[in-house]
Amino acid sequence: MNAQTPGQPLPPKKDRREVARETARIQREEQKKREARNRWFLRGGIGLTLVAVAAIVAVLIVGSIKPAAPGPLNMASDGILMQGDGTAITAVPTAATAADADPVATDVDALTDTVNITVYLDYLCPYCNQFETANAEQLTNWLTAGNITLEVHPISILDNSSNGTKYSTRAANAASCVANYQPDSFLDVNAALFANQPTEGTSGLTDAELVSLVETAGVTDESVATCITDQEFSKWVGTATDRALAGPLPNTSLAAVTGTPTVLVQGVQYSGDLADAAAFETFVMEQATATSTTDDTSTDTGE
C-alpha cells in the first residue's frame, strides 16, 4: 500500500480513476510532443548534413578546376618550331598564348621550302626515347641545312607512372621554361632530357636535378632555374596536353593524339619502326616527294 499523508483521506475510487485517465492523457500528449520535436530535430540534422556535404562538394569541385594560365613565349601553337639557315638552328619566335586563349596553329603554307615534321612527346615515354635516339642526328642535320622544320610539342600523359611526382609534367615544364627564356637551346635540352630519362614507375628527376640538367645542356639564363622550381608553366602543360588528347590536331587529318610519340611528316602520321632511322628517312622522302608532286600538279593546272 502507498503511504498517505496523515490526516488526508484517500479520494473516492471513481475520482482516482478520473485522475489516472487524465494523467495518462497528459503523458500521451507530452510523448507526442517529444516525438514531434525529435522528428523536427532529425530533419534539421539531415538538412544541416546535406548542406555541409554540398559545401564540401562545392569546395572540391572548385579546387579541382585548374585556373587558366598563360603559355610560354615561342610556343603559340602549343609547340616550339625549330628551323635552320644552313649554319645554325634557331627557334621561330612567337608571342605567348594568353590565359583562356586558343593556340595559334603554325602556318605551314608559309613553309613551302621545307618538309615540316611535328612530334608530340612525353619525356617519360620510352618509345619517344627510341625515336629520339635513332633519329636525332639526322633530324639535326636536316634542320641545320634548312631542309626541314621541326615542331616539338611536350605533353604529359604519363604522370601516373612516376610515384606521384608528376615527372612528365615537370619535365615538360622544364622544356617550356627553356622555350620561354632561352629558346635556341631547346633541342639541346630535349636531347638531355631523353639521355637522362628515368624508368617508368620511378619518381624521376627532382626539380633541382632538372635545373642541373638544363644548365649542363648549355642553359645560362638564370630565369630558367626559377621557372623550373616554381613550375611556372605546369598548368599550361596540362591544358596543352588536354588539347592534344581532345583534338583536333592542326595541319593534319589525324583527329587527336592517342599515344606518344605521335610523329607527323607533312601532316601524315609515321607508323613505322621508331628505332629505324632508315625507315623514317624513307618516309620523310616519300612525303616530301608527294608534296612536291602535288604542288607541281597544282601549278601545271593553273590552280
- Taking all residues of the chain, what is their mean pLDDT, rounded to a whole number? 86
Percent of the chain with pLDDT over 90: 72
Q: Give the per-residue pLDDT at 19.
A: 61
CB 184 within 8 A of CB 87: no
Q: What is the pLDDT averaged over residues 136-145? A: 98
Q: Which CATH class is domain 80-294?
A: alpha beta
- To 5 degrees, how large is the angle CA 170–CA 174–CA 177? 135
User: Comparing 13-27, 139-153, 246-260, 280-294, which segment has the lowest mean pLDDT?
Assistant: 13-27
Report which of residues 47 and 174 the model is more confident about. Answer: 174
Q: Kindly tell me if the per-residue pLDDT of 164 is higher than 90.
A: yes
CA distance linking residue 245 with residue 254, whole number of Å: 11
Task: Convert the pLDDT of each residue in 179-220 to its tens digit.
Answer: 999 999 999 999 999 999 999 999 999 999 999 999 999 999
Task: Convert the pLDDT of each residue in 225-284 to its tens digit.
Answer: 999 999 999 999 999 999 999 999 999 999 999 999 999 999 999 999 999 999 999 999
Task: Convert the pLDDT of each residue in 75-121 to its tens digit.
Answer: 999 999 999 999 999 999 999 999 989 999 999 999 999 999 999 99
pLDDT bucket at 294, cuts 50 / 70 / 90: low
Q: Give the per-residue pLDDT at 3.
A: 45
CB 74 within 8 A of CB 91: yes
Q: Kindly tell me if the per-residue pLDDT of 221 is higher than 80.
A: yes
CA distance linking residue 287 with residue 234, whole number of Å: 35
CA distance to 199, 232, 301, per residue, from 194 (Å):
11, 21, 47
Q: Kindly tell me if the per-residue pLDDT of 177 is higher than 80.
A: yes
CA distance linking residue 270 with residue 237, whole number of Å: 24
Q: Kindly tell me if the per-residue pLDDT of 44 is higher than 70.
A: no
- To 5 degrees, how large is the angle CA 274–CA 143–CA 158? 40
Percent of the chain with pLDDT over 70: 78
How many CB atoms within 10 Å of residue 70? 16
Cα-to-chain-centroid distance, residue 245? 10
pTM: 0.77
Give the position of cell 633530324: 139
Give the position of cell 599550361: 236
CA distance linking residue 44 with residue 221, whole number of Å: 61
How many CB atoms within 10 Å of residue 276? 15
Cα-to-chain-centroid distance, residue 202? 19
pLDDT bucket at 22, cuts 50 / 70 / 90: confident
Cα-to-chain-centroid distance, residue 289? 36
Q: Kindly tell me if the per-residue pLDDT of 9 is higher than 50.
A: no
Q: Give the per-residue pLDDT at 51.
A: 42
